[in-house]
Amino acid sequence: MGILDNIISRTKSDLEYKVGSEISSRVSKKVTDVLDSKKSGSGKCPKCKSPVQPGVKFCTSCGAKLIATCEKCSIDYPAGTKFCAQCGKSLK
């Protein structure tokens, strides 16, 4: 039964990771949608306060990065997000 237990354990881990990735992706999209829909302060670069288009990754006026990307999961989050919702890693 040791081999079957090992296979079941790996399959369970793989499924948990896939479900976690899907949840994280959906949370990230919802956070982005909510932040884009806010009227106060949204649509402005946090560095130079110039207006920016929704969905862009860098400010066209000063070049500031407008997203934070998890180095481990490669998931994009809005600038100012401190931790990845998937793995908990600190975002720089």
CA distances from 48 to 18, 45, 63 (A): 38, 6, 9
Lowest mean pLDDT among 8-12, 39-43, 78-82: 39-43
pLDDT digits (tens, 9 = 90+) for 71-91: 988 888 888 888 988 898 998
Would you say 70 and 91 are in contact if contact means Cβ atoms under 8 Å apart? yes
pLDDT for position 59: 92
Write down the pTM of the prediction: 0.46
Q: Find the farthest-apart pair of alpha carbons in the chain and give their distance in angstroms, rounded.
A: 63
Q: What is the DSSP letter of 51?
A: B
Whether 52 contacts 60, CB under 8 Å: yes
